[in-house]
Structure 1
């Protein structure tokens, strides 16, 4: 699975704050993700993330803000 820094991931399960979307801050054996709502940063193993991704929103596809 090709996930890059700057992409936004929509997960199958939501964060405890209720958000499904996360920014990708770091990619490697672990992913560093930042919740779009509460801003909490979490480190999660690659295998767990790849299993739970519902959609990848590429940084090129994002509308400028």
Structure 2
């Protein structure tokens, strides 16, 4: 099963950010994916493989 996501999608991750939310917006895609926390606007960059493992669902 392949999960479909694209730039600027809101996604829900399995683990919450330290600020308390688990919703992020995808801001950059490539070999690495950069996501921004919707609560505190901090960014996280991770390899696509790790992102696919940690993704729970695509919201929008």
Q: TM-score, length-normalised on structure 2?
A: 0.88
Alignment RMSD (CA, Å): 1.0
Spell out structure 1 runs of 4+ moving beyond 3 A: none
Larger radius of gyration: 1
Unaligned runs of 5+ in 2: none
Q: TM-score, length-normalised on structure 1?
A: 0.82
Asked if the contact 1:12/1:53 (under 8 Å) is kept, the reply is yes
Aligned residues: 58
Equivalent of 2:20, from 15, 18, 43? Answer: 18
Aligned to 2:46: 44
